[in-house]
């Protein structure tokens, strides 16, 4: 049950779509990720530099972006559901127009942002206009072109990148899959090393230059550096936000440490001391994933005997009841209807792409859309009748209901409270696909709900993905924040990366690395320049939302077994948060649903408590840590 779904959300892209995918899936769709800043920013706006002028500028900017976003969405939709040379052209053109407007308006917004006496909304919207660009170009001749060329070049190099498998050149997608299934440490080492050497190392100079230019651009917009620009999107001073992520990590780290300790012992048993010693860090290529970011693929190695079976087979149940893809989506809609949300509009059923058409090329990567920013909701999936897609449908619809809930907000507030929230909502709903829920919707016989003894397998399986991911989700931007603010210099880029991998994940590369290497760029989001902290936040928040919903529903059993299906009070409170969009600082949105203004890892700890106890017993007598 892998539900690591993700959206790309620069403001531009978020306005166009909430993109998701179903496996290893914080990979952004390639087209959406390429949003370099192509135009100069200096052109002055026509409104005077006064509070009233700023307000008028914001109103005009908002109207322009909204119109462009609708055109962009229509072009992107037809492109994603009917890929041809012509629709590629139309989508790229619409995307470039949106980005051009965004860059121009960001530069102008930076001037208005300095005016004294701005209203709350004007100030907030000016900030959003400035923060919409992930890689700003400075206002210098040729800088925007150079930045765009660097980013496009790195993304293209990554996309074409190859490692080797048994000496044969092999594309990244295939290597990623093989890392999950191959169990020969020599081959794992070959794939890991060739990928990191071939793809990462050649990008070092371009990345170094990219950091310089985008930092200058960030300064032009009024931020200390690009990392500070990214962190400024969290309604608090950038340094305070960095401290908040540290706090969250310190809360969940004890659980990660136990999982690390147990997994290391199982790997030691599987491979022996020469490959994986009993103590120290885990060898990075043994964890079933190119970046050791999610360990689900090696569940077979760590699964406890007798407790590995989760007790029911959702795919089998769906097939036995002869579910169709449309029925699965109807079931997902039913979840939200049971909470009191209005049914999806008729146009959703007419316009969505629920299954893969046979007569044309499409993008199967699952995503949720609101084309007109009002009620033209759609999903795009190549839905199969199986457990993974059953969960994915619930996740995607979470995006759609969020989009519809904030459709009364002004355009610049049509977004989640912070960029972790959109994904977290979908994942909260996905967590709710419990045996209890399956019984409630008639898929599982009530007398076949698995007993509590079978929970350890279920929880361990989940933890191998969601708990294992946490330190990785955090350290990618720890590294980039340091690179952007200069505390990590080009002379120690790789050392700093591997130090963070050791410090947070407790892993080490399978072979020695030097500054000839550039391992960070072997992960898509570095050349793709997609901020990553949102994925860390989403993993934490989804449990917090889930716990709040379960408490409101009066659930008294173990948290991981809860279902809040059918509870109108939960729906009402959830809607209160969703309807706020990005109009208020995120702690207020969080409070509207959960009653607290603090993000916290406690709910995640509670969810996994039975597993924590079990891991501590298994780890007794072991020297945990690294
Ligand atoms: Zn998603």
Cα 248 from Cα 535, distance rounded (Å):
13
Q: Is the separation of the CB atoms in 552 and 532 below 8 Å?
A: no
What is the 32 CA–ligand 1 centroid distance (Å)? Answer: 14
Gyration radius from the chain CA atoms? 24
What is the 23 CA–ligand 1 centroid distance (Å)? Answer: 11
Residue 155 has a pLDDT of 87
For the record, the structure tokens of 108 come out as 């102008």
In degrees rounded to 5, what are phi and psi of residue 162? -135, 145
What is the 235 CA–ligand 1 centroid distance (Å)? Answer: 23
Residue among 506, 471, 463, 476 nearest 298 (CA): 463
What is the 243 CA–ligand 1 centroid distance (Å)? Answer: 26
What is the 280 CA–ligand 1 centroid distance (Å)? Answer: 35
What is the 237 CA–ligand 1 centroid distance (Å)? Answer: 27
Cα 60 from Cα 81, distance rounded (Å):
32
> Whats the size of the chain, residue-wise?
626
For the record, the structure tokens of 107 come out as 């530069």
Going along 292-384, which residue ranges are E strands? Answer: 367-370, 377-380
Q: How far is CA 418 from CA 11, 532, 579, in A?
A: 11, 13, 13
What is the 107 CA–ligand 1 centroid distance (Å)? Answer: 30
Q: Is the separation of the CB atoms in 432 and 404 below 8 Å?
A: no
Going along 149-209, which residue ranges are E strands? Answer: 162-165, 168-171
Residue among 381, 380, 427, 384 nearest 402 (CA): 427
Residues identified as active-site: 365-366, 395-396, 399, 423, 525, 535
Q: What would the pLDDT profile of 287-339 be if each residue is shown by its tens digit?
A: 999 999 999 999 999 998 766 566 778 889 999 999 999 999 999 999 999 99
Residue 156 has a pLDDT of 86
What is the 3 CA–ligand 1 centroid distance (Å)? Answer: 9
Residue 309 has a pLDDT of 65
What is the 466 CA–ligand 1 centroid distance (Å)? Answer: 15
For the record, the structure tokens of 262 come out as 């147990």
Residue 38 has a pLDDT of 41
Look at residue 261 and give its three-state secondary structure. helix
What is the 462 CA–ligand 1 centroid distance (Å)? Answer: 17
What is the 14 CA–ligand 1 centroid distance (Å)? Answer: 11
What is the 24 CA–ligand 1 centroid distance (Å)? Answer: 12
What secondary structure letter does DSSP report for 502?
A: I
Residue 477 has a pLDDT of 97
What is the 21 CA–ligand 1 centroid distance (Å)? Answer: 7
**Please, how many CA atoms are within 13 Å of residue 201, restricted to the half-sphere of its CB?**
13
Residue 340 has a pLDDT of 96
What is the 457 CA–ligand 1 centroid distance (Å)? Answer: 25
What secondary structure letter does DSSP report for 77?
A: H
The model carries a pTM of: 0.89
What is the 184 CA–ligand 1 centroid distance (Å)? Answer: 34
Q: How far is CA 101 from CA 41, 54, 65, 130, 587, in A?
A: 10, 17, 7, 12, 30
Residue stretches of the chain with pLDDT short of 70: 1-43, 306-310
Could you write out the DSSP letters of every residue in 193-244?
A: HHHIIIIIGGGHHHHHHHHHHHHHHHHHTT-SSHHHHHHGGGSS-HHHHHHH
What is the 377 CA–ligand 1 centroid distance (Å)? Answer: 15
């Amino acid at each position: 049950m892998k539900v690591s779904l993700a959206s790309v959300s620069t403001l531009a892209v978020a306005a166009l779509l909430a993109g998701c995918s179903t496996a290893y899936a914080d990979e952004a769709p390639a087209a959406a990720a390429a949003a370099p800043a192509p135009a100069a920013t200096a052109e002055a706006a026509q409104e005077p530099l006064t509070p009233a002028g700023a307000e008028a500028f914001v109103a005009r900017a908002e109207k322009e972006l909204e119109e462009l976003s609708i055109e962009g969405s229509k072009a992107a939709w037809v492109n994603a559901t009917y890929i041809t040379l012509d629709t590629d052209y139309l989508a790229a053109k619409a995307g470039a127009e949106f980005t051009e407007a965004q860059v121009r308006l960001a530069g102008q917004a930076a001037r208005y942002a300095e005016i004294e006496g701005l209203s709350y909304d004007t100030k907030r919207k000016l900030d959003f206009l400035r923060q919409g660009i992930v890689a700003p170009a400075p206002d210098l001749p040729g800088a925007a072109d150079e930045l765009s060329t660097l980013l496009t070049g790195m993304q293209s190099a990554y996309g074409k990148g190859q490692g080797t498998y048994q000496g044969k050149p092999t594309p990244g997608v295939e290597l990623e899959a093989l890392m999950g299934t191959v169990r020969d440490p020599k081959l794992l080492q070959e794939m890991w090393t060739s990928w990191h050497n071939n793809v990462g190392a050649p990008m070092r100079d371009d990345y170094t230059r990219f950091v310089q230019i985008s930092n200058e651009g960030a300064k032009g917009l009024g931020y200390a550096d690009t990392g500070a620009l990214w962190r400024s999107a969290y309604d608090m001073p950038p340094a305070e936000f960095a401290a908040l992520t540290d706090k969250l990590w310190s809360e969940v780290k004890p659980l990660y440490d136990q999982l690390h300790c147990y997994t290391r012992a199982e790997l030691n048993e599987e491979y022996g001391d020469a490959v994986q010693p009993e103590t120290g860090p885990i060898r990075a290529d043994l964890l079933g994933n190119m970046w050791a970011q999610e360990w689900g693929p090696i569940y077979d190695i760590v699964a406890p005997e007798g407790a590995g079976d989760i007790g029911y087979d959702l795919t089998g149940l769906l097939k036995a009841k002869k579910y169709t893809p449309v029925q699965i989506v109807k079931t997902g809609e039913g979840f939200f209807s049971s909470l009191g949300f209005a049914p999806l509009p008729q146009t959703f059923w007419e316009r969505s792409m629920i299954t893969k058409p046979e007569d044309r090329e499409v993008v199967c990567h699952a995503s949720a859309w609101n084309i007109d920013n009002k009620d033209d909701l759609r999903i795009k999936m190549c839905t199969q009748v199986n457990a993974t897609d059953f969960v994915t449908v619930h996740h995607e619809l979470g995006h759609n209901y969020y989009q519809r809930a904030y459709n009364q907000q002004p355009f610049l507030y049509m977004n989640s409270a912070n960029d972790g929230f959109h994904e977290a909502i979908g994942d909260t709903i996905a967590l709710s696909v419990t045996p209890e829920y399956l019984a409630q919707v008639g898929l599982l016989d009530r007398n076949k709900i698995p007993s509590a003894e079978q929970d350890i397998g279920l929880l361990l399986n989940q933890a191998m993905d969601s708990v294992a991911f946490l330190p990785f989700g955090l350290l990618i931007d720890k590294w980039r924040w340091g690179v952007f603010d200069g505390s990590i210099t080009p002379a120690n880029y790789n050392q700093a990366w591997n130090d963070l991998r050791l410090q947070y994940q407790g892993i080490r590369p399978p072979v020695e690395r030097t500054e000839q290497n550039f391992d960070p760029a072997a992960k898509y989001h570095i050349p793709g320049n997609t901020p990553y902290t949102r994925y860390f936040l989403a993993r934490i928040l989804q449990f917090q939302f889930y716990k709040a919903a379960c408490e409101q529903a009066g659930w008294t059993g173990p948290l991981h077994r809860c279902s809040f299906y059918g509870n109108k009070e939960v729906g009402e409170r959830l809607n209160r948060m969703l309807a706020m969009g990005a109009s208020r600082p995120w702690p207020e949105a969080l409070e509207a649903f959960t009653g607290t203004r603090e993000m916290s890892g406690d709910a995640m700890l509670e969810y996994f408590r039975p597993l924590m106890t079990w891991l501590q017993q298994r780890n007794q007598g072991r020297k945990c840590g690294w």
